[in-house]
Structure 1
Amino acid sequence: MKRIILFTALAVVLTLQTKAQQGLKAGDKAPVFTGVDQNGKIVTLKNALKAHRNVVLFFYRGQWCPYCNKHIKELQDSLNLLTDKDVYVIGVTPETKENIDKTIKKTSAGFSILQDKDDEIMKAYQVNFMMDEATFTKYKGYGINLEENNGNTRHTLPVPATYIIDRTGKIKYVHFDPNYQKRASVKLLLSKL
């Protein structure tokens, strides 16, 4: 409970920081990307769209975020509902492989999760933001060290956005909210497919 109160207080600060970030819009062409998932499988948007009618692409902050874990768990618990509609789910995070493994252990995620090692996917989808030094120090004081979690000193996190991308490569739905507590529910995603 204490951690949730902490995250709520920090939400206000981060919401202000990410206000300028807009993300891509419905109707935009989805940037193509390639990554390696937690199982060593090469995942490309192009190949996922060749094999499936839609891709649900979501960005999450890290295994230390209870809102991220709750969202990933919800996606995993309803994965059959999504795959029955010929959807391929891809998660993207700046966290290291070791921390992705912690996320999977916490959430039982069985879909592809990619480490965005150089923030390239986040930048392409315009969901990346740099945490200022004061906020980084606050997080560190609460036991969240982004440098250790992400394996770099950039202090970059994604706005936890979700995109539905159709077979033509167009974005057909976007959930983009700088308040990291708000996520697209599976029910909402299913209604947009």
Structure 2
Amino acid sequence: MKQIALLLSFFLVTSCVFAQATPEGMFLNSKAKDFKGTDQNGNSVRLKDLLKKGPVVLVFYRGNWSIHCTRYLKQLQDSLDAFTAKKTTVVAVSPELPENITKTVEKTGATFPVLYDEELKISKAYDVNYEVPQNTITQFKRTNINLDEINGKNGFNLPVTATYIIDKESTVIYRFFQNDYKKRPTITELVSKLK
């Protein structure tokens, strides 16, 4: 009986050690982590500086290869006046290399900062990063999506579909965190959360 209990304990501990942590994202009313990145124009962008002007809508997207992501970034661009009227800055973050961010900007017309998440620092700080499972990598490759080429050193990592609104005090006042990459918050919903 003791051996069975020991064996069960061993399997439980080892499965916990080797299981990948599931991202949970930032929660409402938590303090947003400051970050710095380079946008599509080569400018250094820091959250702390943006918050001096007003709230920030922070959007994590997977890449220019994702029609759902590019469609959503285009919607944000098309509605940018609604955000600027509320003194709000929209910022998008992706693990894709800068040359691929250029493709995203070309597809979406984005004039708001689109940041390269070098070494996944931002997505890890916001707990939205996950390592893509091998079966999904294989499916992607069948459709000519090679994440290791698209993301460079960021490899086979993607962010969960997540959008946050961060107020001037660095508090997360809105959270959209969705494992289904096809879902996004509506522009109306985001604008309604801005004071």
1:174 corresponding residue in structure 2? 175
1:143 corresponding residue in structure 2? 144
Task: Flag structure 2 segments of 5+ consecutive residues without an equivalent.
Answer: 1-19
2:15 corresponding residue in structure 1? none
**Larger of the two Rg values belongs to structure:** 2
The whole-number CA distance in structure 2 between the counterparts of 1:80 and 1:118 is 32
Deviations 1:111-138 (A, max 9, x none): 0011002001000101000001221111
1:74 is displaced (CA, Å) by: 0.3
The answer as to whether partners of 1:49 and 1:166 remain within 8 angstroms in 2 is yes
User: Match of 2:97, as an amino acid?
Assistant: T
User: Which residues of 2 match residues 46-61 of structure 1 at below 5 A?
Assistant: 46-51=48-53, 53-61=54-62
1:124 corresponding residue in structure 2? 125
1:153 is displaced (CA, Å) by: 6.0
1:106 corresponding residue in structure 2? 107
More deviation in 148-157 or 71-80? 148-157
Higher RCO by CA contacts (8 Å cutoff, separation 6 or greater): 1
The answer as to whether partners of 1:95 and 1:151 remain within 8 angstroms in 2 is yes
**Where in structure 1 do 4 or more consecutive aligned residues deviate above 3 Å?**
none
1:142 is displaced (CA, Å) by: 1.2
1:152 is displaced (CA, Å) by: 2.5
The whole-number CA distance in structure 2 between the counterparts of 1:133 and 1:34 is 31
RMSD: 1.5
The answer as to whether partners of 2:22 and 2:130 remain within 8 angstroms in 1 is no
Deviations 1:149-193 (A, max 9, x none): 111263000012000000000000000000010001110001111
The whole-number CA distance in structure 2 between the counterparts of 1:123 and 1:47 is 21
C-alpha distance 119-153 of structure 1, shift in aligned 2 (>3 A)? closer
2:86 corresponding residue in structure 1? 85
C-alpha distance 173-153 of structure 1, shift in aligned 2 (>3 A)? closer
SS of the residue corresponding to residue 190 of structure 2 reads helix
User: Match of 2:23, as an amino acid?
Assistant: Q
The whole-number CA distance in structure 2 between the counterparts of 1:58 and 1:70 is 13
1:75 corresponding residue in structure 2? 76
Q: Does 1:95 find its partner at 2:105?
A: no
User: Which residues of 2 match residues 1-16 of structure 1 at below 5 A?
Assistant: none
Q: Percent identity?
A: 45
The answer as to whether partners of 1:19 and 1:178 remain within 8 angstroms in 2 is no
C-alpha distance 19-72 of structure 1, shift in aligned 2 (>3 A)? farther
**Aligned equivalent of 1:40, options 34, 39, 42:** 42
2:191 corresponding residue in structure 1? 190
- TM-score, reference length from structure 2: 0.87
User: Match of 1:112, as an amino acid?
Assistant: P
User: Match of 1:90, as an amino acid?
Assistant: V
Aligned length: 176
Task: Flag structure 1 segments of 5+ consecutive residues without an equivalent.
Answer: 1-17
The whole-number CA distance in structure 1 between the counterparts of 2:101 and 2:142 is 22
1:93 is displaced (CA, Å) by: 0.1
The answer as to whether partners of 1:58 and 1:163 remain within 8 angstroms in 2 is yes
